[in-house]
Structure 1
Amino acid sequence: MSPGSPGRESDAAATGREQTRRRVIEVAIDLLAREGRDAVTTRAVAVAAGLQAPAIYRLFGDKDGLLDAVAEYGFAAFLAAKHVDPDPPDPIEDLSAGWDLAVEFGLANPALYTLMYSEPTRAASAAHKAGMEILMGRIRRLAVGGRLRVDEELAAMIIHATARGAVLTWLSLPEERRDPALLTTLRESMLAAVTNRQPAVREAGPAGAARALRAALPEQTPLSDAERHLLSEWLDRLAADDRR
């Protein structure tokens, strides 16, 4: 393909558009951090980026589209800062470190963090979903190891609620009232609510879980005799599976 061909021009145009888009987002983040959300107008961003206002509309649709792009940029930056260990030596410490990282990001980027979590619709962003997958992986490892005190969905809600609450409460306080014990207490309360310090199941895997549940089965009064008998039969088969 020759240098002047339409394909090369199209690629160059797409690259230039993406570079301009990124520059506008970075300018908007700078305005947001220095002057607050109200300062992030299409006109102000266009002037700071050296563009005409219509360029902002072509790139983002409107101001809400620009703010959505800024929030997505924030989620992506947070995701890039995460360290993911597929097999951490201590899954509870791994969860604790992940919670600390989320809170530290919020405290370091208060205006951006507030924008990211100000509207529920932003939870649909690709980077936010990727971050949730990392969190659910941490929670699943706790569950498999018998360390999870509540079900996985509730655990995720508690972890998110305590992290957001910690950041937003801290930011709402005058500096002289910001006590680091608040963050520590919220983190430890989250861990106590979500995890068991000692494994509920001593042996990893379904066979160990089946043996633990089978041992407790006579105490499960909500089950009828027929249900208890059927469940006992299933658990016997699962418990014996690792001996084959």
Structure 2
Amino acid sequence: MHDEATGEALLDEALALLRAGGPEAVTVRAVAEAAGTSARAVYSVFGSIQGMLDALAQRGYARLVDLVAAVPETDDPAGDLVTVGMQGFRTFALEEPVLFRLTFEQVSAELLENEAVAQTAYDTYRALRSRVRRLRAAGGVHPDRTDVACCFAFHATCQGLCSSEMSTWQPPDGPGFWGMLHGADLAPVWHDTLTGLVARFRHPPGEADQPGQTQSATSGASTP
């Protein structure tokens, strides 16, 4: 009989292996040896290696929920949403890049068939949706935009920024695709990109900027 503490201890070892060698390093035998237990214990708790990877992904979703919840609510819901992206998604990706990839870039239909994992994944959506609804209540979301569409756009943008920033890292940490930016401070890129996206939520979906609109907004911002 193996309790929840045993499962958490096994997951800790699995996460350490994941960080060191990626998903292929997480095997039943390796986790059992690292935890000083038997393969039977691993199977008893998770059922299979896929079950253990599912549990790791669930931990990743829970981590993002915690990071989003930690962002304080201020009287600037638009700014809060930008902060959610930077202190939630970006922090998760930079602190736990391998777990982030497993959680969001290697998601599968089989993963979401696990009810507990799917529920925790949905918790990330609800955490983000609550911030979008605060923005809507403040007049920052056009009535023609749905909550789910705003969440999708925001999540997709954050995930893309995470993947792109991690691609600046040199092997073995990343592919080095954007190696010319390795070591650069990309926080301003995040801020400007998310600020622009959140500002667009005030407008109808698909609406093109009117001639002179961007210039006018820029001029207004620079006027004392």
TM-score normalised to structure 2 length: 0.73
1:99–1:72: structure 2 CA closer, same or farther, 3 Å change rule?
same
AA partner of residue 63 (structure 2): A
Pairing 1:114–2:101 present:
yes
Counterpart AA for 1:190: L
Q: Which residue of 2 aligns with 1:73?
A: 59
Largest Rg, 1 or 2: 1
Residue number in structure 2 paired with 1:22: 8
Q: CA deviation at 1:183?
A: 4.8
Q: Does 1:96 align with 2:89?
A: no
Structure 1 vs Structure 2 CA RMSD: 2.4
Instruction: Report how far residue 50 of structure 1 moved.
Output: 0.9
1:166 corresponds to: 161
Identify if the C-alpha distance between structure 1 residues 183 and 127 changes in structure 2 by more than 3 Å, giving closer, same or farther.
same
Matched, 1:191 2:186: no
Tell me if the contact between 2:63 and 2:92 (Cα under 8 Å) persists in the aligned partners. no
1:178/1:57 CA distance change after superposition, 3 Å: same
Q: Which residue of 2 aligns with 1:145?
A: 138
What code does the residue aligned with 1:41 have? T
1:136 is matched with 129
Q: Give the letter for the 2:128 counterpart.
A: L
Q: Residue 84 of structure 1: CA displacement?
A: 5.1
**Aligned with 2:70: secondary structure?**
coil
Contact residue 162 and residue 187 of structure 1 kept, 8 A: no
Q: Specify every segment of 5 or more residues in structure 2 that has no aligned partner in the other structure, as ranges.
A: 171-178, 204-224
Per the TM alignment, residue 174 of structure 1 is displaced from its structure 2 partner at its CA by: 3.4
More helix by share: 1
The number of residues matched between the two structures is 184
Per the normalisation by structure 1, the TM-score is 0.67
Give 2:149's match in structure 1, choosing from 146, 154, 157.
154
Deviation at 1:132, TM superposition (A): 1.6
Unaligned runs of 5+ in 1: 1-12, 201-244
Q: Deviation at 1:113?
A: 0.6
Work out whether residues 142 and 148 of structure 1, in 8 Å CA contact, stay in contact via their aligned partners in 2: yes
2:3 partner SS: helix
In the TM superposition, residue 191 of structure 1 has moved relative to its aligned partner by 2.9
Report sequence identity in percent: 28
Instruction: State the shift of 1:92 in Å.
Output: 0.8
* In structure 2, C-alpha distance between the alignment counterparts of 1:136 and 1:108, rounded to whole Å: 24
- Residues 1:189 and 1:78: Cα distance change in structure 2 (over 3 Å): closer
Q: CA deviation at 1:88?
A: 2.4
Distance in 1 separating the partners of 2:10 and 2:147: 39
Shift of 1:186: 4.4
